Structure 1
Amino acid sequence: MSGHENKTKPTGTPVDEFIAHVEHAVRRADAEVLDEMFRRVTGAEPQMWGPTMVGYGAYHYEYASGHSGDALAVGFSPRKASLSLYGLTMQPEAAALLERLGKHRMGKGCLYVNTLKDVDVEVLEELMRTGYRYVTQQLDQSRPPVHQHFDAAAATWDQEPRKAEEARLLAQSITTALPLTGAERLLEYGAGTGLVSQALASHVASVTLADSSEGMRRAAQEKVSSGALPAGTRVWDLDLESGAVPADRFDLLVASLVLHHVQDIPRVLAGFHTLIDAGGHLAIADLDTEDGSFHAHVPGFNGHSGISRDQLTEWLDTAGFEDTTIRDSFEIDKEGTAFPVFLATARRR
């Protein structure tokens, strides 16, 4: 444990409130644009770090000296003299992008811009994207191996035909089990590349995807840009085991093959309850209990070997859900072994 403590920490101050009180009108307008860009590019909800720094995502660092701590992954500060941008200059792509950026200055670990009118915002957006990816994937020393597994798998995830078929079968099970009206606000938690939401898109009014894997979020965002996912789909960086519950509310929350990765399942279910409006529905698809062979290929896997249906029913009741029904949904074939997947649906009390 280091004797040096990082004094810049999250404060809990609402970011919108901070931006609204920036005195300089141009600086305030630029801050609003930067906030929208960082949210969209990273999929992370912003946090105030100290009194003036807005951060998106975080990473843990450990130095050979023994000094360690946590810091914002990327972000900005609308200071009086200029806009300070953080986390955008360390990635291999940065040098070439900075040549095309426009008028700027470099500081120790940050980039200074007088106003967004001085720079190419498309280049700036690419700096955000590559910077966030580099910090969260290469510098973050807290990422467990299983997260690294999903980051690496994201680029080719949709190339396995069975994944799209499994998503279609699950969506069919959900629409059969629940009385969807087409007006539902859908949140898919642990969404990966958004395959289940793609299959449900025509049955709901809006889609929000949440995943803790930066690689998966990037793949999902690319699908939004290409039109494979509906226009207006939001992509969030969200981990309910360690992070705060967002203020947004939903009518339908779907979690497909997620809970067996979660250590503190009751905490996550309590987060689901908060996120769903009264009378809204939860749909959980997961593996029935198995012998551990399903994840034998995943390095560092420390989750559950499937989920007990009876235990899940108890957890849902404790979390504030009712009318729980659990039924068979589909099977996943792995090297000749069939692993049953169930669908649990419940209504928020």
Structure 2
Amino acid sequence: MIDVLTAKLSSSGSHKQDQNVLPVCALLEDPNDTRLQIDPMTRDALEAGSPPRRFDLVVSHLVLHHIPDLAAVFKIMFELLKPGGKVAVTDFEDFGPEARKFHPESKMEGVERHGIRKEDIRKIIEESGFEGVTVETAFELPKRVESVPGKGDTESGPTMVFPFLICSGTKP
């Protein structure tokens, strides 16, 4: 997905030096991770002794179901934000055993859970320190799935509808 974003930024018509966007692929375990301490305009590392970068917005789409410890990553997101900063994440909802069909069996490596549950994610976000937390269905995605687990027929298999949640909160 980072490659897709980078390609979109390259084709957007603006020059790299005019973009205040820095695509980063990193498992967030430290809010001061050096991969985040880069000036997006110059692509240079921040000077030694500079305060760590903090952000106005953290956005994530279809990532949460791959993260082993959601509580830990939301605490890191909280630390990455400036006061008043927001987190906005989307992922498909865990609506029961059928949610497993979102991924074909051949692509289960790295899947930690089959969607996110509304009540669980709300609690995690609130316990991380966010205020004004909202968790709601944002849209539904019709998607072809395997007719039988492992068959690999996602091109011709049945269509299922997967609800997607949008979750947000604000750092006080």
TM-score if structure 1 supplies the norm length? 0.35
The superposition leaves residues 281-319 of structure 1 with CA deviations (integer Å, 9 ceiling, x where unpaired) of 111111111421111341424311111111111111211
Q: What does residue 234 of structure 1 align with?
A: 22
Partner amino acid for 2:12? G
In the alignment, structure 1 residue 295 sits paired with structure 2 residue 97: no
Which of 305, 309, 331 is the matching residue for 2:118?
A: 309
Q: Provide closer, same or farther for how the CA distance between residues 229 and 312 of structure 1 changes in structure 2, counting only shifts above 3 A.
A: farther
Task: Write the mapping of 1:56-75 to structure 2, written as runs, cut at 5 A.
Answer: none
Alignment of structure 1 residues 91-170 onto 2, 5 Å: none
Task: Find out whether 1:334 has 2:143 as its counterpart.
Answer: yes
Query: d(CA) in 1 for partners of 2:109 and 2:124?
Result: 26
CA 1:279 to 1:302, structure 2 compared with 1: closer, same or farther past 3 Å? same
Aligned to 2:71: 266
Q: Which one has more relative contact order, counting CA pairs under 8 Å at least 6 apart?
A: 2
Instruction: Name the residue aligned to 2:54.
Output: 249
Q: How far did residue 235 of structure 1 move?
A: 2.0
State the distance in 2 between where 1:310 and 1:323 align.
15
Whole-angstrom distance in 2 between the partners of 1:319 and 1:243: 14
Instruction: Report SS of the residue matched to 2:28.
Output: coil
How far, CA to CA, are the matches of 1:229 and 1:330 in structure 2? 31
> Which residue identity lines up with residue 252 of structure 1 in the other structure?
L
Task: Go from structure 1 to structure 2 and tell me whether the alpha carbon gap of 1:243 and 1:324 turns closer, same or farther (over 3 Å shift).
Answer: closer
Q: Is the 8 A contact 1:260 1:306 kept in 2?
A: yes
Root-mean-square deviation over aligned CA pairs = 2.3
Asked if the contact 1:295–1:301 (Cα under 8 Å) also holds between the matched residues in 2, the reply is no
In 2, distance between residues paired with 1:266 and 1:315? 6
- Where do 1:189-208 residues align within 5 Å? 192=1
Aligned-partner Cα distance in 1 for 2:142–2:110? 19
Take 2:135 and 2:90, find their aligned partners in 1: how far apart are those partners?
Answer: 9
Higher fraction of helix: 1
Relative distance call for 1:224 and 1:260 in structure 2 (3 A) is same
Tell me the equivalent position of 2:86. Answer: 281
* Paired AA for residue 220 in structure 1: L
For the 8 Å contact 2:86–2:171, the answer to whether it is kept is yes
User: Structure 1 CA distance, aligned partners of 2:30 and 2:80?
Assistant: 15
Q: Does the CA-based 8 Å contact 2:31-2:77 persist in structure 1?
A: no
Alpha-carbon spacing, 1:241–1:331, altered in 2? closer, same or farther (3 Å):
farther
Query: Alignment identity in percent?
Result: 26
- CA–CA separation in structure 2 for the residues paired with 1:343 and 1:295: 20
- SS at the partner of 1:263? coil
Indicate the SS of the match to 1:333.
strand
Residue identity opposite 2:120 in structure 1: Q
For residues 243 and 347 of structure 1, the distance between their equivalents in structure 2, rounded to whole angstroms, comes to 17
CA distance in 2, matches of 1:325, 1:221: 30
Partners of 1:260 and 1:226 in 2: CA distance: 30
